Amino acid sequence: MTIPIFDRAQSAARYIRARAGGEIQVAVVLGSGLGAFADTLAEAVTVPYEEIPDFVRSTVEGHSGRLVIGKVEAPAEGGIRREIMVAVMQGRFHYYEGYSLDEVTLPIRAFGAMGVKKLVLTNAAGGVSADLEVGSLMIITDHVNLMLVSPLRGQHDERLGARFPDLSEVYSRAYREVALAAAQELGLELRQGVYMALQGPNYETPAEIRMMRVLGADAVGMSTVPEAIVARQMEMSTLGISLITNAAAGVVDGPIDHDAVMRMGARVSEQLSALLHRVIPRL
């Protein structure tokens, strides 16, 4: 008999809560090549995904496949030092790996079951807009779901949230303002744009990229959207950040290579880490 996703999320949540030893306030998902932020956490506890009930394994290069629970220092208030406990996924699960969307989004449901209401989703993306330079960071303002499937499809369990959640503001406007202010303090230029998700794992054709531009996409990738939809259903507030690791097919001449995506992620990880350390305490 198939175990309901609600019960699977509760089981994972109990295990994570026991390993955390405290209340997790913010959850972060790190995309391809962007795992360095997890290594900056204080008092970190590392949990391989295979130890967490019902978590699957990440099979993609650049995804370490572990949950890191630790602390981010927040600005002192009244001379008192504060710390924020965060749970950071070093790598995510993808639909193209052959997993169901229930499996892909189970970590988000587990965080929601723990009472986490603040979520940061990051990814490596291709730049569809010619204005997005390789190596730049883009705040996600909205998305287009060309994966053509919803993580909410199937029998509804009201314990997970509304069957027809409103997606007018999937990515928190308030969180975007926090990120823009933090970037300005750091001297980082943050762009804003629309993220389009496809199933993958192949990269897109030049003709598909031209179509995406007409449809309003600024960046394209193979993740994030299912997680963001589930987070919205569970009434979590989400900040989305894309690292533009490559120009999409046809934007510039030359092939797209996953190794190059990883190298670009490594180059910009330090900037992303600095930004997250500024942003997370203010969410």
Structural domain containing residue 165:
5-282
Predicted TM-score of the model (pTM): 0.93
Residue 72's DSSP bridge partners are: 84
Integer angstrom CA distances of residue 213 from 50, 116, 139: 39, 35, 17
pLDDT tens column, 16-68: 999 998 999 999 999 877 788 999 999 999 999 999 999 998 876 655 789 99
Query: What is the spatial distance between Cα 3 and Cα 109, in angstroms, rounded to a whole number?
Result: 14
- Read off the amino acid at residue 161: G
Residue 42's DSSP bridge partners are: 71
DSSP 96-129: GGT--HHHHHHHHHHHHHTT--EEEEEEEEEE-S
Q: Is the pLDDT of residue 94 over 70?
A: yes
Q: Residue 190 maps to which CATH number?
A: 3.40.50.1580
Please give the distance of CA 113 from its chain centroid, rounded to a whole number. Answer: 18
Specify the number of domains making up the chain: 1
> Is the distance from CB of 248 to CB of 220 less than 8 angstroms?
yes
pLDDT value, residue 61: 64
Query: What is the spatial distance between Cα 223 and Cα 221, in angstroms, rounded to a whole number?
Result: 6
pLDDT value, residue 119: 98
Just list the catalytic residues.
32, 63, 94, 96-97, 124, 222-223, 246, 258
pLDDT tens column, 177-232: 999 999 999 999 999 999 999 999 998 899 999 999 999 999 999 999 999 999 99
Query: What is the spatial distance between Cα 206 and Cα 226, in angstroms, rounded to a whole number?
Result: 25
Q: Is the pLDDT of residue 2 over 90?
A: no
Integer angstrom CA distances of residue 126 from 34, 51, 81, 259, 275: 15, 33, 39, 14, 21
**Which DSSP category does 182 fall into?**
H
Percent of the chain with pLDDT over 90: 75
